[in-house]
Structure 1
Amino acid sequence: MNATHDLERLRFNMIEQQIRPWDVLDFEILDLLGQVRREDYVPKAHRGLAFFDMEIPLEGATRREPGQCMLSPKVEARMLQDLHVKKHETVLEIGTGSGFMAALLAHRAAQVLTLEIDAGLAAVAAENLRRNGVNNVEVRNADGAVPLASGPTFDVIVLSGSVARLPQGLMGSLKMGGRLAAIVGDEPMMRAHFVTRVGEGKWDILQPWDTVAPRLLNFPAPSRFAF
C-alpha cells in the first residue's frame, strides 16, 4: 500500500512540477499522464527514475547505439498536447523506444504504427504494450528514415528523437490537414517543429519551443560546411 502511495505521489509531482510548468495545461492530457503508468515502460534497472525530469537509458537493444533512451516526461507531454490527436486519426511514430509514447498516442488515436530500428527494443516495446493492454498499436522493426512505400498516409507523424532537418519524405506521407512533430537542429539548442499540410506542396510550420533530444538514426544531416 505504501509503495503504491509513493508511486502515485511521484506521478502527481511529475505532472505538477515538471509538466504543467512546461505549458501542458490540457486537462485530458494531464489526466492521461495520470492513468498511463510510465513506470511500466521503464527498464527495471532505472525504474526508480521513472518520474524524474531526465532521459532514461533503454535496455534490450540488439545493437549498441548512442542515445537510445526515453525522452523526458515534459517533452513527451508537450508534443502530445501540441499535436491535438483526435480519436478517428491514424498515427505514425518513428522511434518506438520502450513503447510509452506509443501508448499515450494510442489512447488519443484510432490506430498507431510505430517503427523501431532496433529489433531488441521493438520486441521489448511490443511486450510492454501487450502487457498493459494497448491493442491499437503495431510495433514494426523498421528504419523510419527509409521512405515509406507509396500508399499509406497518416493524420499524425511523431518523431520521438531529433533530426538535423525536417524529413521531406515523411512530410509527404501526411494527409491533407495532417500534422508532423519533430525536434530539429543541433546541440546545444534544437527547436520543436509542428508541420501541418495545408495544400499540395504547402506547409504551415510552427516552432513553439526549444529542447534537446538524442538523434534518430540514419536521417540525413546537412554538411556543416555548406553555405
Structure 2
Amino acid sequence: MVIEGDWLKQQIADWGISLTEEQLSQFEVYYQHLVETNQWMNLTAITDHHEVYVKHFYDSLTIIRHIPIKQIQTVIDIGTGAGFPGIPLKIAFPHIRLVLLDSLKKRIGFLQEVVNKLNLKQVDCIHGRAEDWGQSQGLRESFDLVTARAVARLNILAEYCLPFAKVGGRFIAMKGSLIEDEVSEAKKALVQLGNATVKTINLSLPEGMGDRHLLLIEKKKKTPKIFPRRAGIPAKQPLK
C-alpha cells in the first residue's frame, strides 16, 4: 500500500492535488476489493498492483488537469463498469455528488459494496441503460460533468451522455490512442445533441504504459427531447 499510494500521491501532487492518508487507504481498499471480486466477476483484465494504480487510478484522475474540478458539484459516470473514472474522482474530491450508471446489475452490486467499504457519501449506484435514464426528469440535464471511459464510438456515446449534461456543462470521453476518425464522424451528432464543441487532449501514462486521449466536449444548448432514442437504437442507427 505504501509504495503504490505514495507513487500516486507524488504523481498528482504535481497537479496541485494532495491526497490524505485516509484517501490513500480508500484507494488501497478499492484495489483489494476489485482484484478479489475479479476472481469470480469479470471487472478488469488488469490486476497487477502497480498497473491498476497507473492504468485505472491515475488514468481516471487525468481529467482533473483539464477542468475546474473544485467548481464541479455533480458528476455522472455512464457505463461505469468497475467504477472508472467515477470512484477515483470521488475519492480524490469528496465534495462531488456522484451517480454511477451501468447496465449490468452484478457490477452495480460490486460498486455499492465499494461505496459502503469506503464510506463514500452522496453516491448513487443505478442499474439501467443510458437511453432510458437519459429521459428521466431527475437525471436529464442535471450534471456539471458527464464521464465515460471507452464505452462506444463517439457518435453513439454522445447520444448516451450529452442528455445528462447541463447547458454549459461538460462531457469527457476517455479514449485510447486512435481517435481522429471517431471525432470527425461525430461532429454532426454533437451539433444535433446540444450544439456541442469538442477539444482533443493528448496524454501519455507514466512509465510508457500507453497513450490516451481525452475528448472534452462542452454543451451549448439543450438536447432535443427526442434524444436519447429508445434503447438499442443509438448503437444500431448512429447519428451522422
TM-score normalised by the shorter chain: which range applies?
Answer: 0.5 to 0.7
State the distance in 2 between where 1:181 and 1:134 align: 23
Name the residue aligned to 1:84.
Answer: 68
State the distance in 2 between where 1:189 and 1:156 align: 24
From 173, 177, 196, give the equivalent of 2:168: 177
Residues 150, 139 of structure 1: CA spacing in aligned structure 2 closer, same or farther, 3 A cutoff? closer
Is the 1:158–1:181 Cα contact (8 Å) retained in structure 2? yes
The structure that is helix-richer by fraction is 2
Name the residue aligned to 2:5.
Answer: 11
Deviation at 1:129, TM superposition (A): 0.9
State the distance in 2 between where 1:96 and 1:203 align: 22
State the distance in 2 between where 1:124 and 1:155 align: 25
User: In structure 1, the residue corresponding to 2:134 is in which secondary structure?
Assistant: coil
State the distance in 2 between where 1:143 and 1:80 align: 26
The structure that is strand-richer by fraction is 1
Structure 1 unmatched runs, 5+: 1-6, 48-56
Deviation at 1:123, TM superposition (A): 0.7
Aligned-partner residue type, residue 86 of structure 2: A
Residue 211 (structure 1) aligned with residue 197 (structure 2): no
Structure 2 unmatched runs, 5+: 184-189, 203-210, 215-231
Name the residue aligned to 2:23.
Answer: 35
Name the residue aligned to 2:130.
Answer: 144
Aligned-partner residue type, residue 10 of structure 1: E
From 121, 126, 145, give the equivalent of 1:156: 145
User: Could you report, residue by residue, the CA deviation over 1:183-220 in whole angstroms, capped at 9, with x for unpaired residues?
Assistant: 35xx7624798xxx9xx93323211115289xxxx773
State the distance in 1 between where 2:88 and 2:21 align: 8
Higher mean C-alpha deviation, range 168-177 or range 36-45: 36-45
Residues 169, 160 of structure 1: CA spacing in aligned structure 2 closer, same or farther, 3 A cutoff? closer
Residues 33, 101 of structure 1: CA spacing in aligned structure 2 closer, same or farther, 3 A cutoff? farther
Residues 171, 72 of structure 1: CA spacing in aligned structure 2 closer, same or farther, 3 A cutoff? same
Name the residue aligned to 2:186.
Answer: none
Residue 120 (structure 1) aligned with residue 106 (structure 2): yes
Is the 2:30–2:118 Cα contact (8 Å) retained in structure 1? no
Aligned-partner residue type, residue 165 of structure 2: L
Is the 2:57–2:88 Cα contact (8 Å) retained in structure 1? no
Residues 59, 87 of structure 1: CA spacing in aligned structure 2 closer, same or farther, 3 A cutoff? farther
User: Could you report, residue by residue, the CA deviation over 1:78-100 in whole angstroms, capped at 9, with x for unpaired residues?
Assistant: 02432333356211111333346
* Runs of 4+ displaced beyond 6 Å: 65-70
Name the residue aligned to 2:235.
Answer: 220
